[in-house]
């Protein structure tokens, strides 16, 4: 793939340290209300959003459907206007702009969509050429821009194919090439992998990751899929009911998972969900002779240390692994293990203290006889 042939504005400005520090996107107390009709009350889609997207990062916004994700991402390129608050893109307040000045801003922001939104009447080449035609480039300039983009997304042999002749993954690759055509500094991804199968999702995420790394392009994506955030996002914001409930580095947010919404989103992750055979027998009260069920959270380096084995050898506590796995979040190992310990209250306290001493948080889930 020919990355060198594609320059972006992100690279051009990367050397200025002051601009480097400023975020690419900044939401300041942004709210959005929709009037649902003449008689009915207003619907609050977004409520007091404060959010920053660091320059050069991949930032993910995750939330259930109806949480306000789509509205949020549309505020960044002015497809929606905030009811109050400001949205700054690369230092400019775009919420104050009129439609006409927004057009030139939008040419510096690429966007990809869940349903690709390719023109059925245009070939792959002509779809990628569309934003360049809109910007008024001549045919020769368009040709020299589109050809390397087709190569970048691995579709050089499909240049004259129509969208209906392409698979879902190929369509999204055309979508990505089209979004990159005007050499944007920011790429918005609106559930770009939600209509794709897991394998295609992985290949599209790998492409986005590569684009972020090699072109230095800032990526802001919204999704309801934990998998997407886990794989490529450096930063994450969890949105629920129109509010950001947690934000920070992906690893920190997901390993601390303090907010119930974050927990709910994580429930698909191995080790978060308790197997049925356990939940059906579990009680909240400790009883004599009962085994304590605890969840041990492994973070970073600790995920590879044999802590549970040492629990047995050093404290003489019998440990039984019930469920869980070691996974990877934002490139760092992370594990959740549900284990049962044959231990009374005293021993249990000792065991948890031992784990904590070695950097492993744990929580007591219940007791099983």
Partner 1 sequence: MSADIIYLIIRATGQTLYMVAVAGLVGSLFGIPLGVFLATSEKGELFPAPRTNRVLGLIVNATRSTPFIILVVAIIPFTRLIAGTSIGTNAAIVPLTLATVPFIARLVETSIREVDSGLSEAARAMGASPMQIVFKVLLAEARPGIAAALTLTIVSLIGYSAMVGAVGGGGLGDLGIRYGYQRFMPDVMAVVVVVLIVLVQLVQSAGDRLARQFDKRNRPR
> Is 109 an interacting residue with respect to partner 1 (CB under 8 A)?
yes
For residue 183, the minimal CB distance to partner 1 (Å) is 13
> Is 121 an interacting residue with respect to partner 1 (CB under 8 A)?
yes
> Is 166 an interacting residue with respect to partner 1 (CB under 8 A)?
yes
Q: Which is nearer to partner 1, 134 or 309 (CB)?
A: 134
C-beta of residue 43 within 8 angstroms of C-beta of residue 34: yes
Q: Which is nearer to partner 1, 142 or 330 (CB)?
A: 142
For residue 80, the minimal CB distance to partner 1 (Å) is 11
> Is 122 an interacting residue with respect to partner 1 (CB under 8 A)?
yes
CA–CA distances in Å: residue 242 to residues 26, 83, 136, 238, 275 = 17, 13, 38, 10, 32
Of the residues 14, 22, 105, 278, which one makes contact with partner 1 according to CB under 8 A: 105
Q: Which is nearer to partner 1, 163 or 335 (CB)?
A: 163
For residue 268, the minimal CB distance to partner 1 (Å) is 28
Cβ–Cβ contacts within 10 Å for residue 29, how many?
12
For partner 1 (CB under 8 A), the number of binding residues is 31
For residue 31, the minimal CB distance to partner 1 (Å) is 20
Name which of 22, 75, 24 is nearest 53 in CA terms: 24
Q: Which is nearer to partner 1, 105 or 264 (CB)?
A: 105
> Is 115 an interacting residue with respect to partner 1 (CB under 8 A)?
yes
d(CA 222, CA 192): 8
Residues 129-148 that bind partner 1 (CB under 8 A): 130-131, 133-135
Of the residues 103, 139, 213, 369, which one makes contact with partner 1 according to CB under 8 A: 103
> Is 159 an interacting residue with respect to partner 1 (CB under 8 A)?
no
Residues 224-283 that bind partner 1 (CB under 8 A): none
Q: Between vectors from CA 153 to CA 236 and to CA 169, what angle results, nearest 5°?
A: 70
Contacts with partner 1, 45-84, as mask; x by CB under 8 A: --------------------------------x-x-----
For residue 53, the minimal CB distance to partner 1 (Å) is 17
Q: Which is nearer to partner 1, 136 or 306 (CB)?
A: 136
**Using CB under 8 A, which of the segments 2-10, 101-109, 237-245, 322-330 binds partner 1?**
101-109
> Is 106 an interacting residue with respect to partner 1 (CB under 8 A)?
yes
Q: Which is nearer to partner 1, 135 or 326 (CB)?
A: 135
d(CA 177, CA 182): 10
For residue 108, the minimal CB distance to partner 1 (Å) is 9
Contacts with partner 1, 179-198, as mask; x by CB under 8 A: ---x-----x----------
Angle at which helices 124-134 and 168-180 pack, to 10 degrees? 20
For residue 243, the minimal CB distance to partner 1 (Å) is 25
For residue 22, the minimal CB distance to partner 1 (Å) is 23
Binding site for partner 1 (CB under 8 A): 77, 79, 102-107, 109, 111, 113, 115, 117, 119-122, 130-131, 133-135, 162-167, 178, 182, 188
């Amino acid at each position: 793939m020919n990355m060198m042939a594609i320059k972006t504005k992100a690279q051009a400005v990367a050397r200025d340290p002051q601009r480097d520090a400023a975020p690419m996107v900044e939401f300041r107390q942004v709210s959005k209300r929709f009037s649902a009709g003449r008689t009915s009350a207003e619907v609050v889609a977004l409520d007091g959003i404060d959010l920053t997207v660091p320059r050069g990062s991949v930032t993910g916004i995750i939330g259930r459907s109806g949480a306000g994700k789509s509205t949020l991402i549309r505020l960044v390129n002015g497809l929606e206007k905030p009811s109050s608050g400001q949205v700054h893109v690369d230092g400019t307040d775009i919420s104050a702009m009129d439609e006409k000045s927004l057009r030139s801003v939008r040419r510096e922001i690429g966007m990809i969509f869940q349903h690709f939104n390719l023109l059925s009447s245009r070939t792959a080449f002509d779809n990628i050429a569309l934003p360049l035609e809109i910007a008024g480039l001549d045919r020769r300039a368009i040709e020299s821009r589109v050809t390397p983009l087709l190569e970048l997304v691995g579709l050089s042999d499909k240049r004259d194919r129509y969208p209906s002749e392409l698979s879902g993954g190929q369509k999204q690759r055309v979508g990505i090439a089209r979004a990159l055509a005007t050499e944007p500094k920011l790429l918005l991804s609106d559930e770009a992998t939600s209509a794709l199968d897991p394998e295609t999702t992985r290949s599209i995420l790998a492409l986005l990751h590569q684009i972020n790394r090699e072109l230095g392009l800032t990526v802001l994506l919204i999704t309801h899929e934990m998998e997407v955030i886990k794989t490529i996002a450096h930063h994450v914001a969890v949105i629920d009911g129109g509010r950001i409930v947690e934000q920070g580095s992906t690893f920190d947010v997901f390993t601390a998972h303090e907010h119930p919404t974050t927990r709910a989103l994580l429930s698909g992750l191995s080790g978060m969900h308790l197997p049925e055979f356990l939940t059906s027998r579990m009680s909240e009260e400790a009883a004599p002779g009962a085994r304590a069920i605890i969840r041990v959270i492994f973070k970073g380096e600790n995920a590879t240390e044999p802590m549970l084995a040492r629990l047995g050898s050093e404290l003489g506590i019998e440990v039984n692994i019930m469920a869980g796995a070691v996974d990877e979040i934002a490139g760092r190992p992370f594990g959740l293990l549900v284990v049962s310990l044959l231990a009374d209250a005293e021993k249990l306290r000792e065991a948890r203290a031992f784990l904590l001493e070695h950097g492993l948080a744990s929580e007591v889930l219940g007791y099983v006889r």
